[in-house]
Amino acid sequence: MLRLPSFQLVRAESVDDAARALANESDTRIVAGGTDLWPNMKRRHQKASTVVSLANVAELRGVKDTGGEIRIGAMTTLTDIHDSELVLAEQPAVARAVRSISSPVLRNMGTIGGNLCLDTRCTYYNQNEEWRQSINYCMKEQGETCWVAPNSPRCWAISASDSAPALCAIGARVRLVSTDGERTIPLPELYHDDGIDYLAKRPDEILVEVIVPKAGVAKTSFWKLRRRASIDFAVLTVAPAITVDASNTVTDAHIYMGAVGSFPIRVHESEKALLGKPFDAETIAEAARVARKDGTPLNNTDFIPQWRSRMIERYMEAALREAAGLEVDRLAPRHGFGE
């Protein structure tokens, strides 16, 4: 049985409590639902002398309608988000993305803040201690080599958050709080393109809120590829948000992919292929064809990279066709038990 290492647990009663604990302690981590941190600490992937729990911070829970925006507390469970009539009505692609995460049991515990800050993953990193030790570890932990790309000076572990691409595509923002004050940033600015240093927020900052715009005229979708229809992490996600005018010409496009890089990747080539063109099957096919220019899967997760690369085109086309209201020539994506 895997056991947690020894550490001091601080049960914060407010955001201010948590911020002070982070500012005053070194080697400290925040825990939200614990579905990522606790298993990682048990496997000795992550270590901390002090863990600050947000479980008792009531102000961080809930989905609120503030008129022009939806504000979601960072400790709001994934279940509460995908069951929210407000989120489903205003941003159905976000609700679908959240519903795709893991399994019902873990969605009951996991939080939106935790999912956005989810640790990056890799075949060579997400193994037990003995296995990792046998290869002299990897760059993301105690080693010096990224076994995915041994000559690379950086870590290529991939972003595992399913909610991030969907939220990035629709222009969501996050609010960060520390003892120095607070700041609100566009969600894409939360991430670095690095498997180790993947979050741009400071270690003493707490993600306290996700600010989601209400539905505008953008056409959205979310598609996810994984081995099973539940539980498994994604090997690809595609989240488009496309705006068209009265003549069905694309006037704006924001498309993000997940699980093919160390951060949610914006698919610039597909966006350029859509802009100024009719949002029809021919334009979509071309946008899907060039999508692989922005994301090249490596051998760091499930399935071989060549097949995953081919699936970028297939899933991009499917997601865009669904957003456009066109028939999709494959099975609809499945995102949970019994669906």
Secondary element (H or E) of residue 306: helix 305-324
Q: What are phi and psi of 234, to 5 degrees?
A: -70, 150
Q: Do 185 and 89 share a domain, yes or no?
A: yes
Q: Do 163 and 304 share a domain, yes or no?
A: no
Q: Do 69 and 187 share a domain, yes or no?
A: yes
Q: Does residue 338 lie in a domain region?
A: no
Q: Do 250 and 300 share a domain, yes or no?
A: yes
Of 213, 248, 277, which residue sits at a domain end?
Answer: 213
CATH number at residue 204: 3.30.465.10
Q: Do 176 and 108 share a domain, yes or no?
A: yes
Please tell me the pTM assigned to this model.
0.94
Q: Does residue 150 lie in a domain region?
A: no
And the tokens for 1?
């049985």
* Cβ atoms of residues 189 and 200 within 8 Å: yes
Q: Does residue 132 lie in a domain region?
A: no
Q: Does residue 138 lie in a domain region?
A: no
Q: Do 231 and 269 share a domain, yes or no?
A: yes
pLDDT for residue 333: 53
Of 196, 213, 230, which residue sits at a domain end?
Answer: 213
Cα 326 versus chain centre, distance: 27
Q: Does residue 113 lie in a domain region?
A: yes
CATH number at residue 229: 3.30.390.50
Q: Does residue 37 lie in a domain region?
A: no
Give how many domains the chain has, as a whole number: 2
Q: Does residue 200 lie in a domain region?
A: yes
**Residue that is written with structure tokens 């002299």 in the block:** 136
Q: Do 320 and 190 share a domain, yes or no?
A: no
Q: Where are the alpha helices (DSSP H) in 3-154?
A: 15-24, 37-42, 78-82, 85-90, 92-99, 104-109, 112-116, 129-134
**Total count of residues recorded for the chain:** 339
Q: Does residue 67 lie in a domain region?
A: yes
And the tokens for 59?
């102000």
pLDDT in tens, the chain (339 residues): 789 999 999 999 999 999 999 998 788 999 999 999 999 999 999 999 999 999 999 999 999 999 999 999 999 999 999 999 999 999 999 999 999 999 999 999 999 999 999 999 999 999 999 999 999 999 999 999 999 999 999 999 999 999 999 999 999 999 999 999 999 999 999 999 999 999 999 999 999 999 999 998 999 999 999 999 889 999 999 999 999 999 999 999 999 999 999 999 999 999 999 999 999 999 999 999 999 999 889 999 999 999 999 999 999 999 999 999 999 876 555 544 333
Distance CA 282, CA 299 (A): 32
Q: Do 187 and 241 share a domain, yes or no?
A: no
Q: Do 195 and 223 share a domain, yes or no?
A: no
Domain that holds residue 203: 58-117+158-213
Of 198, 213, 228, which residue sits at a domain end?
Answer: 213
